[in-house]
């Protein structure tokens, strides 16, 4: 079965993501676990993501959002109300599933935490996206906070597949943010510049063609008249006379040399066709 995917993001960070509602731990490729373990082995401590946690918290605070991932709603005074039971409930459920396999013995309160039954609560990622837009800096910060939250929850419950997926997701989000902040602006500007140059070239070619058409038909008409009177004249001499008559007649769009005129009238020469048309 192919994974269910959805199109997300904006600009150069548009991407296809696996739908979390479809994804299960068994569907994650083994390569992710190898990469996760290798990454941890190369770092001085398992808290290698603290720099990203601090960055995310700073951005979220600056934009008036809670600094840590969770489920929230904003009350009438503008304060963020967190579902304090959310993490405790998920931690208990994860431990039950991944350690004791006794989820059915858990108290019902773990299945009825506030944000599960109260639709005012929303995940921080959805709040940031709704307020500031998909792939905005606050939205990236909220996604980083969620990836760290998922990673730590999985580590606490010895859920290796969940930890590998969260670590991989954190790296992907961080790389996407760096790409967007550092390169999207120049890339879009360059694309616009190329499009504007192409349009300018097309407009310029159209103008040049229109200006050329202004004198082409009159030049051919004058050439016929000249060759009726003097059929022995060469193309070059006739072009010189045609150009002089058109200049005297006020055709300002004429080229500066006789060569273009020769190219326009050359097929009319009596020496080439045997008669005057």
> Per-domain residue ranges for the chain?
5-188, 210-273
Beta-carbon contacts of 109 under 8 Å, excluding residues fewer than 6 positions away, are 85, 89
Residue bearing the bigger pLDDT, 5 or 105: 5
Helix, strand, or coil (residue 45): coil
pLDDT tens digits, 90-139? 777 777 766 665 555 555 555 566 767 678 889 999 999 999 999 999 99
The reported pTM is: 0.52
- 73 vs 77: CA distance, rounded Å: 11
On the CB side of 146, CA atoms within 13 Å amount to 20
The DSSP-derived string for 212-244 is: HHHHHHHHHHHHHHHHHH-TT--HHHHHHHHHH
């Amino acid at each position: 079965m192919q994974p269910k995917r959805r199109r997300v993001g904006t600009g150069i960070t548009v991407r296809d993501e696996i739908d979390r509602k479809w994804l299960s731990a068994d569907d994650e490729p083994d390569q992710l676990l190898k990469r996760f373990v290798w990454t941890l082995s190369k770092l001085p401590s398992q808290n290698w993501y603290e720099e990203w946690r601090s960055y995310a918290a700073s951005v979220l605070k600056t934009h008036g959002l809670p600094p840590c991932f969770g489920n929230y709603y904003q009350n009438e005074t503008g304060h963020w109300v967190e579902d304090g039971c959310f993490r405790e409930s998920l931690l208990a459920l994860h431990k039950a599933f991944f350690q004791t396999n006794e989820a059915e013995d858990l108290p019902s309160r773990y299945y009825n935490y506030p944000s599960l039954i109260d639709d005012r609560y929303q995940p921080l990622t959805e709040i940031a996206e709704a307020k500031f837009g998909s792939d905005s800096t606050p939205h990236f910060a909220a996604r980083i906070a969620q990836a760290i939250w998922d990673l730590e929850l999985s580590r606490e419950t010895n859920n290796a597949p969940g930890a590998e997926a969260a670590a991989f997701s954190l790296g992907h989000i961080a790389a996407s943010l760096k790409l967007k902040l550092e390169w999207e602006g120049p890339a879009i500007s360059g694309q616009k510049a190329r499009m504007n140059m192409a349009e300018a070239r097309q407009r310029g070619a159209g103008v040049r063609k229109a200006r050329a058409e202004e004198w082409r038909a009159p030049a051919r008409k004058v050439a016929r008249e000249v060759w009726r009177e003097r059929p022995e004249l060469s193309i070059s001499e006739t072009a010189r006379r045609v150009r002089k008559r058109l200049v005297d007649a006020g055709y300002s769009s004429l080229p500066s040399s006789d060569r273009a005129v020769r190219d326009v009238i050359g097929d009319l020469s009596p020496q080439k066709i045997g008669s005057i048309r």
